[in-house]
Each structure stands twice: as C-alpha cells, then as structure tokens.
C-alpha cells in the first residue's frame, strides 16, 4: 500500500441500510414506469417503508415492480448522514429536520460517489504519478462530508465534480495507455450505442465514459480496463463479458444490466442476485 492509499477504507462507502433512516425511500421521487410500480413525490415515504426504516418487500422488489430500487446505491451516504451528520436523530422523531435532511442527502450521496471513484483511482499503480493529487482531493472531499448541514447545503457539487472528473480522466488516460493497441481504439465517450450489436467486441481500454449502452448486446465482449464511468448499462446484455479492471464501474451500473455466471466483474463489485 502506497502512502497515498493509507487510511482509506472503501467499506464505509458501501450502503448500510441498517444504519440509515430509509432516506432513499423518502427523499427521492419516482414515477410509475417499468422501474417503479407507482408514483411517489420527493419527501413522501414509500408505502413499503416500515417503521424500523426497513423495506417491507426488499426480497421481492423486482417481482413487485420496483426494480428501480435494486439499481440504486447511496455509496454509504445514508448512514453517514443518519449517524454522523444528524447523530442518530431520525426525521420521524424530529420532523422539523426532515426537509433539510432530504435536501442534504442529495449532496452527501454525490460526494460519497466521488469518494468511491477517487479511492479506486488511488489503488491503480499505473496512476502513481497523480496519486498525490488524488489523495489531496480525496481528503478535501471527505472533509466536505463531515461538515454541518449548513456547510453541506453550501457545497457547489457541480464545481467540485468537475475538479474530480479532470483528475479521474487523467487517471483513465494513464491506465489505458498501457493497454496493447490503444492507439487504434475509438473514443466512444458519450456515444449513442443504444441497442448496438457488440457481441464479442474487443473494447479493451476503450473510452466509454457516459456512453449510452441501453439494451446493447455485449455478450462475450472484452471490456478489460475500459473507462466505464457514467456509462448507461440499463438492460445491457453482459453475459460472458469480461469487465475485469473496468475503470470506475459501480454496483448500480452492474445491477441495471443483464449478466450470468460467466460475466467477469472487478473484485470490488458483487454479482447481482437476479443474474
């Protein structure tokens, strides 16, 4: 472990619903669609939220028409806000804090997502040249997550995200530069690849940042070391695909896709139960 990696524990960037006040089930809105069975306004508790803040249909979300819930991840923002920012005081016992808590949740969630990306970047030996800058930005982001509610509300998340993204892009370039044949790789950043037929495609080290891969056929594709940050994998067929070392791939992206036992994932991610 390098000096820049010390004292970073990615486990706290995983959702711990047992220590959260069901914030995603209340703060976020959703509309009746293929992802949600009903409409719900922001700030209104989901009808499936129990008194103990657990989900009454957690084991049957997809069967009951709530597949959208299974692809959401707060990156640990829920428990941070519930147990640290608000010191264990929930919105039911203190209804006066509810609106503020729900508003700040959106900020905390984005900051925790950035921490996840920065922590991953710090684990990449190819990016050693920028580890110092990555660590400074990681510490600055973590400091923001420990601020008061007023300080969190004042964070310019868009500006902070742009600063992080510049460094993540440089990290991506350093990693992908070592992939054989990189000079011949096409840049698919932000590309519209909805429904694309990419079965067995060699996409090693490709730039797929923000690409629309909805319902694309990526069966057996080689996505090793590809930059996948922000790529839309809803209903993407990843059966037999190799995403080993896929850069900045998250659990929500994987959960939104279709895969099987042959799909190779980075070790930090779990194989979805519905695969």
CATH number, domain of 242, equals 2.160.20.80
Structure tokens at 76: 């640990």
Are 97 and 163 found together in one domain? yes
Last residue of a domain, one of 141, 175, 209: 175
- Contact (Cβ atoms closer than 8 angstroms) between residue 242 and residue 224: yes
Predicted pLDDT of residue 3 = 64
Are 163 and 196 found together in one domain? no
- Buried-state track 1-19, b at ≥16 Cβ within 10 A, e below 16: eeebeeebeeeebbbebee
Q: Give every CB contact of residue 87 below 8 A, 6+ residues apart in sequence.
A: none
Are 111 and 226 found together in one domain? no
Last residue of a domain, one of 175, 203, 225: 175
Are 18 and 119 found together in one domain? yes
In a domain, residue 134? The reply is yes
Are 170 and 189 found together in one domain? no
Are 113 and 194 found together in one domain? no
In a domain, residue 244? The reply is yes
Mean per-residue pLDDT, 241-249: 97
- What is the spatial distance between Cα 172 and Cα 166, in angstroms, rounded to a whole number? 10
Predicted pLDDT of residue 29 = 96
Are 202 and 156 found together in one domain? no
Total of domains in the chain: 2
How many residues are recorded in the chain? 275
- What is the spatial distance between Cα 224 and Cα 264, in angstroms, rounded to a whole number? 9
Q: Give 77-86 pLDDT, tens digit per residue.
A: 999 999 999 9
In a domain, residue 48? The reply is no
Predicted pLDDT of residue 2 = 64
In a domain, residue 135? The reply is yes
Reference 204, options 216, 190, 192, 218; nearest CA is 218
In a domain, residue 160? The reply is yes
- What proportion of the chain, given as a percentage, has pLDDT over 70? 97
Last residue of a domain, one of 175, 207, 226: 175
Domain that holds residue 83: 3-28+72-175
Reference 234, options 207, 262, 254; nearest CA is 254
- What is the spatial distance between Cα 119 and Cα 4, in angstroms, rounded to a whole number? 10
Are 235 and 158 found together in one domain? no
Whole-structure pTM over 0.85, yes or no? yes
Are 121 and 23 found together in one domain? yes
Are 144 and 240 found together in one domain? no
In a domain, residue 38? The reply is no
In a domain, residue 40? The reply is no
Q: Give 92-114 pLDDT, tens digit per residue.
A: 999 999 999 999 999 999 999 99
In a domain, residue 233? The reply is yes
Q: Is 197 in a helix, a strand, or coil?
A: strand
Which pLDDT band holds residue 10 (cuts at 50, 70, 90)? confident
Mean pLDDT (the chain, rounded):
95
Q: Give 125-147 pLDDT, tens digit per residue.
A: 999 999 999 999 999 999 999 99
In angstroms, the Cα distances linking 265 to 196, 242, 246, 271 are 21, 7, 8, 8
Are 192 and 170 found together in one domain? no
- Contact (Cβ atoms closer than 8 angstroms) between residue 273 and residue 59: no
């Amino acid at each position: 472990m390098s000096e820049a990696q010390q004292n970073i524990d990615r486990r706290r960037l995983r959702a711990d619903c047992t220590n959260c006040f069901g914030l995603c089930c209340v703060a976020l809105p959703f509309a009746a669609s293929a992802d949600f069975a009903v409409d719900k306004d922001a700030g209104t508790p989901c009808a499936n939220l129990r008194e103990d803040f657990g989900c009454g249909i957690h084991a049957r979300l997809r069967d009951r028409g709530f597949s959208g819930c299974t692809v959401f991840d707060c990156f640990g923002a829920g428990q941070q806000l519930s147990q640290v920012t608000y010191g264990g005081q929930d919105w039911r016992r203190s209804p006066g804090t509810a609106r503020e808590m729900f508003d700040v949740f959106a900020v905390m969630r984005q900051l925790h997502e950035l921490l996840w990306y920065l922590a991953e970047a710090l684990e990449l030996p190819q990016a050693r040249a920028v580890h110092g800058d990555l660590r400074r930005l990681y510490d600055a982001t973590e400091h923001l997550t420990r601020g008061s509610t007023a300080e969190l509300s004042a964070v310019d998340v868009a500006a902070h995200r742009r600063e992080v993204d510049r460094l993540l892009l440089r990290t991506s370039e350093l990693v992908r530069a070592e992939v054989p044949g990189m000079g011949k790789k096409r840049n698919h950043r932000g590309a519209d690849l909805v429904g694309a037929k990419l079965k067995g495609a060699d996409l090693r080290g490709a730039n797929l940042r923000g690409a629309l891969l909805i319902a694309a056929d990526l069966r057996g594709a080689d996505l090793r070391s590809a930059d996948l940050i922000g790529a839309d994998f809803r209903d993407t067929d990843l059966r037999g695909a190799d995403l080993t070392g896929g850069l900045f791939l998250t659990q929500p992206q994987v959960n939104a896709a279709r895969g099987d036992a042959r799909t190779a994932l980075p070790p930090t991610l779990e194989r979805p139960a519905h695969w």
